[in-house]
Amino acid sequence: MEVKPLTCGGGFGGKDDTAALVCARAALCSWILKKPVKITYSREWSMRESYKRHPYKMRYRMGLNKEGEILSVKARIVADGGAYCSVTPWVTWRSTVQSCGCYEVPNVETDVYGVYTNNVFCGAMRGFGSPQINFAVEQLVEIAAEKLGMDEITFRCKNMVKQGSTTITGQVLDSHIVSLSQVLDAVLNESDYEHKRKLCSFGNPNQKEWYGIGLAISYRGVSLGAEGTDVNSAIIYVQPDGSVLLETGVFENGQGAESAMILIASEQLGLPIERIRYRMPSTSNIPDGGSTVASRGTIMGGGAVVNATKILKQIVTETVQKITGKSVVHFKNSKLLDATGEMIMPWEEAIKLCYNNQVYPYAFGVYQPPQISWNEETGQGNAYFTWVYGCQAVELKVNSQSGAVNLLNMIAAHDIGKVINPFALKGQYYGGMAMGAGYALGENCPCENGLVVPTNFHNYHPPRSINLPEMKAIFIENPDPISPSGAKGIGEPANEIMAPAIANAIYSATGKRYHSLPIRIKI
């Protein structure tokens, strides 16, 4: 059997189990009827059956000294997995690994339980176990700072992971640049946080509108880590006219993987993007590259593309040197250059030379990150091979009579390694912040007697464009030494800390803490 995927859109976990269910039913009907079968869900049926984000109940205790250092954290977390298991073990695993947020804590006891209930089953949703944790931890650190009479930024800076820090799983962060201070400083400067914090209302009874500003920081392990085997591959084939066909094990959900892979190949080969065509992968053409999940598409697929281009360039370089005696050092502007920058020959001529000498310009590249060590029994080891660091801030106003929240401004800074496609990257930033705002303020999907209550957009309320403010995306670039392309990932990091930033901003506006989502302000 050969599977030829189509771009279906609507990713962020939404095409995992649900897509398999639909396909299985269509396949069964097709086998019984001996005819092609197409199944299309209505909006109501989609909302009733598709899995949701895991609801969490969390209880935290934090131990501190008078200097404001976190000495210990004890957490008990219960995740509602619904009636079927799905990916609950892996969602809760990430929650365990990141249960103390991006802070260095020497003594940790974390118990995370995934439980079966009669509710709709829960699966993979953008963030995959970290948005819930960050909502708790990023409020907890501000509560702790306030109890100690310490500024919340100073408290964060004292305790957040730095270069060479050890995570709660015993991983030493020394293989890449730990850039929490960079992303935090970028947001503080862009938002004028220190000045605006002094303007916060904290529930002033003399004001009709309460103003608040809040932020949150995070780190997130990239790709699957100890959750599974990480590998991806890419095929590059150059046609006789010099145009390039590219195929990877990354699936295009609409997130921009095709553009990213083309841009990476373009940079490596020194060719314009118009000369590179991306082919959707087929199971008969390329090995399984794993799921396009966990913000792993760019780092894994891009790594495979870089390695494939290295092999291809070696093939072309050796052929040119064998025939002409000249050493190719650079591929740039559709030309092959020597060490001095002098042109040896155009790209198209080099490809013709390969074909004329029966050398096939084809390369297969594989990228597999360094093996990580993980002890399932002790919960210790290197959970992920690299990490993304982020900070987001939000300004808002709260109507002191109705409790309505008006978002004024959102800012996000993330260390994404290396920028590949700035336009698509901004889209991920903006979409992540918007989705985080919906998670914080509006979106709710309760069950009653095992049935999902919302059945359409009349009783389920994602944020609309008129509800969203100006957004600012700040790129922090520290090319990752483990990633062949230098890039990391941003799909999920952009989504996981806007909710706690909003919660902290609401506190600075109203003077009240809200510990559940979505936030419903009571006057």
Please state the domain extents for the chain.
17-49, 56-226+376-510, 231-367
Common-topology check for domains 56-226+376-510 and 231-367: yes
What pLDDT is recorded for position 292?
66
Return the top range by mean pLDDT from 115-119, 252-256, 325-329, 338-342. Answer: 115-119
pLDDT given for residue 290 in this prediction: 67
The Cα 437–Cα 498 span in angstroms is 6
Tokens matching residue 487:
């890039």
Question: Is domain 231-367 in CATH 3.30.365.10, yes or no?
Answer: yes
Dihedral through CA 164, CA 473, CA 100, CA 386, nearest 10? -40
Digit-coded pLDDT (tens) for 201-234: 999 999 999 999 999 999 998 877 776 677 888 9
**Residues with Cβ < 8 Å from 418, sequence gap 6 or more?**
477, 479, 480, 483, 485, 486, 487
| Model confidence pLDDT, tens digit, residues 179-195 | 999 999 999 999 999 99
The predicted pLDDT at position 331 comes to: 92
DSSP collapsed to 3 states, 121-135: CECCCCCCCHHHHHH
- For position 294, what pLDDT does the model report? 58
Cα 364 to Cα 248: distance, rounded to the nearest angstrom: 10
Q: pLDDT class for 198, splitting at 50, 70, 90?
A: very high
109 strand-pairing partners: 74
- pLDDT at 293 (0 to 100): 64
Per-residue pLDDT, 404: 95
403-430: average pLDDT: 93
Report pLDDT for 490: 86
Give the per-residue pLDDT at 227: 67
User: pLDDT confidence of 431, banded at 50, 70, 90?
Assistant: very high
Q: Render pLDDT for 270-324 as a digit per residue (tens, 0 to 9).
A: 999 999 998 887 777 776 766 666 567 787 888 899 999 999 999 999 998 988 8
The CA–CA distances, whole Å, from 35 to 22, 28, 29, 32 equal 16, 11, 8, 8
Chain segment 25-58, per-residue pLDDT in tens: 999 999 999 999 999 989 998 888 888 999 999 9
Q: What is the pTM of this model?
A: 0.89
Q: Percentage of the chain with pLDDT > 90?
A: 62
Looking at residue 286, its pLDDT comes to 75
The mean predicted confidence, pLDDT, of the chain is 90
pLDDT at position 489 over 70: yes
**What mean pLDDT do residues 332-360 have?**
90
Does domain 56-226+376-510 match CATH 3.90.550.10? no
Give the separation between CA 89 and CA 227, rounded to whole angstroms: 9
CB 306 within 8 A of CB 484: yes
